[in-house]
Amino acid sequence: MYASLPLSGPAAKPGHEVLAGAQRALERSDQEVSLLVLDSFASRRDQQAVANAEQAVADGEALAYLGDFHSSQVRETAPILGEAGLLQVAPVATQVGLDGPTLVRITPHDGIGADAIADWLADARVRRVLVVHDHDVGYGVPVGGMCVEAALARDLGVRSRPVWDAHERPADDLNGAEAVVYAGVAGSGAIDLWNDLHAANPDLWLVGTEGLAHDWVARGLQPSTAERIRFFVAATAPLWAYGYEAMALILDSVREASADRSRIVQAARATRDRDSIIGRYSIDPEGHTTTAAYGRLKVVDGQLVSDLSGATLSA
């Protein structure tokens, strides 16, 4: 088996969490399978992922590939692994449109997240929503568009705009919004933005997509701001559980198909009603999980915790 995960750099902590889960599943298996772990971090991370995939493809004894971590990396490696017929299980990639003949994804995509946000806003009786997105055409812009579409589908009044420039005052642009949804990645100004929005209207709900759900953001928020914030994330369990399930699915597929790469892919993509550590799911014909379960976090005492269970999401 090969695993391609960020083991250094800014995503090293979650990368190691996923790896720890995968190793735990491997240790509990009675199969004689070795795991070769490759670091996918580099100054040009997508190119590093490509190099990792090419190494796995060149290994005639490779049976499967756990990774990659970032959606942009999966987009580059899926065609390489697909052409070689090597099963790829991406544990946490969420971008809409990722596909490949051997790709399996076990987390719901960003469109499911947009639906979850809209459902929660509707349940909270929010009627007017301002969707703000950053300038990232690979994440913030399309996810912001999905949030707009999901809100409109639930008859919510919605307006959208790019994130405010430094000289602009967000408080002057709320125009009666009862919630602000920010689709994007947390930058250095994220904490001040949330605190300023809360100061402008303490009753405003503040909602962030997965790219904003960071420990350092939670620690920096004023307590009153934190009470009005919710973050929506694809994971409904700690990240190690997704590494565990990715490896468990691979091992079960290998057990069923032996060393035949094509049969291993068929076994994994034929998954139906699988009871797992991350819940029950099937894999659809495109290789995507069928689960619509989505995580929601709140901030308590400077920590991100599940809004449903209250448990901290760490390994």
Domains of the chain are 2-108+237-269 (3.40.50.2300), 110-233 (3.40.50.2300)
Average pLDDT, the chain: 95
Q: Cα 296–249–60 angle (5° rounding)? A: 130
Distance between CA 210 and CA 231 in Å, rounded? 7
Both tokens of residue 281? 């799911």
Give the CA angle between residues 202, 211, 7 to the nearest 5°.
Answer: 140
SS3 124: coil
- pTM to 2 decimal places: 0.92
Model confidence band, residue 309 (pLDDT cutoffs 50, 70, 90): low
Neighbours of 123 (CB within 10 A): 9
Query: For residue 62, is pLDDT > 90?
Result: yes
Burial class (CB in 10 A: 0-12, 13-18, 19+), 168: exposed
Q: Which residue has the tokens 């290998």?
A: 254
CA 265, CA 253: separation in Å to the nearest integer? 8
HSE value, Cβ hemisphere, 13 Å, CA-based, for 113 = 33
Residues 128 and 250: their CA atoms lie apart, in Å, by 45
3-state class of 184 per DSSP?
coil
SS3 letters for 19-72?
HHHHHHHHHHCCCCCCCEEEECCCCCHHHHHHHHHHHHHHCCCCCEEECCCCHH
Q: What's the rounded Cα separation, in Å, for the pair 50 and 4?
A: 10
What is the C-alpha separation between 142 and 186, in angstroms, rounded? 16
Query: Residue 311 above 50 pLDDT?
Result: no
Q: Residue 200 above 50 pLDDT?
A: yes
The two three-digit tokens of residue 28, written as one number: 């509990």
Q: What is the DSSP letter of 168?
A: S
What is the percentage of the chain residues whose pLDDT exceeds 90?
94
pLDDT digits (tens, 9 = 90+) for 232-249: 999 999 999 999 999 999
The dihedrals phi and psi of 291, each to the nearest 5 degrees, come to: -70, 140
DSSP 165: P
Question: Would you call 214 helix, strand, or coil by DSSP?
Answer: coil
Query: Helix axis angle, 261-269 relative to 239-257, nearest 10°?
Result: 130
| Span 246-280, pLDDT tens digits | 999 999 999 999 889 999 999 999 999 999 999 99
Q: pLDDT-derived band of residue 310, with 50, 70 and 90 as boundaries?
A: very low
Average pLDDT of span 119-124: 97
Query: Do 171 and 144 form a contact (C-beta atoms < 8 A)?
Result: no
3-state helix vs strand vs coil in the chain, percent to 5: 40, 20, 40
